[in-house]
Amino acid sequence: MAKRHAEELLEHVVAADSPASKRARLQEVKQSAPTNGFTNGHDATADGSDASTPDVLAAADARHEELEEAGALDEDVADDSQPAIAAPTRQTAPTEGYDDLYLDTIDRSLLDFDFEKLCSVTLSNINVYACLICGKYYQGRGPKSQAYFHALEERHHVYINMGTKKVYVLPEGYEVKSSSLDDIKFVVDPQFSKDEVAQLDKRRVVAYDLQNKPYNPGFVGMNNIKANDYFNVISQALAHVPPLRNYFMLEDLSTRPQLAQRFSILLRKLWNPRAFKSHVSPHELLQEIALRSSKRYNLTTQSDPVEFLSWFLNNLHLALGGSKTKPRSSIIQHIFQGHLRIESQAITARADAGDRLRFEDAAIQTTTTPFSVLTLDLPPAPLFQDERESHVIPQVPLTTILQKYDGVRAHEQLSKRVRYRLLHPLPPCLLMHIKRFEPNKFLQSQRNPTIVTFSPRALDMSPYVQPDPHHPPGEPIWYDLVANVTHEAVRVRDDSVEGEAERKVWRCQVLDRRESGASGGDRDKDRWWEMQDLYVSESEAETLHTKESYLMVWERRKTPGKGKGKAMAR
C-alpha cells in the first residue's frame, strides 16, 4: 500500500529553531534588541523594524559589555575543559596577621621520621614531604602533586621537606618561618656542635620524650622490626666507639653514598637529647643495607653479627672514599685496622718415624696481613658429665685464648702449622670475635657454651705484640672494654622431628663513662647498660663475664701506665 502524504509541511508545524550552542549565546545577545519580540526565530523591534539597524546593534553591544562586567559571560565558565571550581591562589608569603595559621593542627605524637622517606602513593624518594598532621610521606607540593591533593582532601595543610627541612602550607604554597617548628626540624635531622659532642662522655643529660618519660641519650632501645636484632647490637656497639661516633656526628657527608649518610643520621638520633620518643627505628638504614648487600642482610632474616660487622665496616670504608689496596685510607681503618704476622711451616711425615708426625726444619714462610677483627678460638666443650653427674658449663680466661697471638704456640691448619703475632702499633680499638659456632658433620651450626672470664678494665696486650724499638720493652698496653655483644640460646617448640630448636638472642652491653666524668683507669666505678632491642636495663660490671660473649670492643687508653693497681684481666 502506498504511503500517505503529510497534510502539512514540517516547517509549518515546528515554530522554533534548534537549541543554540553555548558559544552561540554570545552572538544571540549581540543580535537581540532592547525590546523582546521573537517571530518564528527572527528578532524584531516593537515597531516591527529590523533588529539589524545601527541603533539596535549599539544597544546590544552596550548590553553585552554590562553582562561581561557582571561576570555572566565569563569565557572560562562556558569552556567545558575548565574545572568547575577554581584552584586556590598560590601565595609567596602568608597573609598579614596569619603567620601561624594551621600550626595548631600539628600532631607531634604521630610524627616518626625514622622510616625510609618514600611517598606513600608513588613510592618515590624524590622531593618527599612529610605531613605534620598525620605523619605520612607525599611527593612534591605543586598543584598536581600528591601532597597538594592530600591537603585538599584531608585538610592537612602543614608539610616539611625532608631534604631542605623547610616547612610549607598547602595548598597556598608559602613557606612558614616560625621558631615553634625548630624542634621538629631537629628531630628530622639532629645537628651537634663540637662542644656538644665533646660533652657526650662527660656530662650526664636526662632527657624527656613527649610522654614526659625520662631517657638517657645514647642509651636508648632500637626497634626490632622482625629479625634485625643482629643489626641492633652492632649499631649499639659502634655508637659507643668515641672516634667513630664523633666523626659521623660532626662530618658533612652530604656528598657521600647513602650508606654513610644514613648511618650518620642513625647515630645522631641515638644521641638526640630532644627526641619525641625514647627509642629509634633503624628501618631507613636497613633498607639501604638490604639494597647494597643484595638482600643478604635484611630485616626479615636473622644473620650473624660478626659477619655483618665485617661487611658493614668494609662498605663504610669504601663509602668514605677508602681504597681497597692502600691501608688506613679511611677513618674506619684508622680506628680498627691493625697488622698481623703469620709464620707457617709445612707438616710432613717420614717413613722411619712410624705413626708420628715430625716437623721438618724447613724454611718458615712469614707474611704480614692487615686485620680488623681478631678471632679467638674456644677449647672444645666436654662431651660427658663430670664426677657428680651434672653438666657444668666450662670456663676459660680471656688471657688463655689470647695466647693464640703470642708468636710461640703453633696451631695446626690443614697441612701446616701456623703461629700468629700482633705488630706495632695496635689500633685504637680492638674487635675480638669469640668463635662459638662450628659446623658439624651434618652441616649444622654447633654451639660452644664455654664462658670466657675477663675484667672489663686494664687488659694488657703487650705479651701478644712483637717487640718494637719505638715501644719501650716491658711497658704494658692497656685496653678497656666499651661494648660486649652476648649470645643466648633459647629453646623454642619446633614442628620438626626433634621437637625443640634453639633461637638466638643477641644483647649488647655498653659502658656509660659519664658517671664520674673521666675515662680509662680514672673511673671509680663503671656503670653498664644492657640493651636487647627496645629493652634497656642497668647491668653490673662484675657480672659481664657470666654471659656468652661473642664480640668485644676494646678501647686503648690514651694515658698508659694508669690502672696498674686496679682489677687486672684474669
Is the N-terminal amide bond of 257 cis, ω within 30° of 0?
no
Bridge partners (DSSP) of residue 174 are: 169
Q: How far apart are CA 238 and CA 267, in angstroms?
A: 9
Q: Which three cell numbers stand for residue 256?
A: 657521600
Is there a contact between 396 and 454 (Cβ–Cβ < 8 Å)?
no
How large is the angle between the packed helices 24-31 and 54-70, nearest 10 degrees?
130
Chain centroid to CA 56: how far? 78
State residue 534's pLDDT score. Answer: 93
Pairing of strands 451-453, 395-397: parallel
Give how far the C-alpha of residue 197 lies from the chain's centroid of Cα atoms, to the nearest Å. Answer: 20
Collapse the DSSP code of 290 into the 3-class scheme (helix H, G, I; strand E, B; otherwise coil) and give the result. Answer: helix
Helices (H), 180-220: 182-188, 194-198
Answer for the pair 298, 131: CB distance below 8 angstroms, yes or no. no
Which residues of the chain carry a pLDDT beneath 50?
13, 16, 18-52, 56, 67-85, 353-357, 359, 497, 499, 516-524, 560-570
Q: How far apart are CA 172 and CA 89, in angstroms?
A: 6
- pLDDT at site 521: 43
pLDDT, residue 69, reads: 47
pLDDT at 206: 86
Q: Quote the CA–CA distance of 293 and 426 in Å, as a whole number.
A: 30
CA separation for the pair 429, 452 (Å, rounded):
20
Which tens digits make up the pLDDT trace of 172-187?
888 998 889 999 999 9
Instruction: Delineate the domains of the chain, giving CATH numbers in brackets.
Output: 25-78 (no CATH), 103-187 (3.30.40.10), 195-316 (3.90.70.10), 338-382+392-556 (3.90.70.10)
What pLDDT sits at residue 194? 94
Q: 429 and 335 in contact (C-beta within 8 Å)?
A: yes
For residue 32, the one-letter residue type is: S
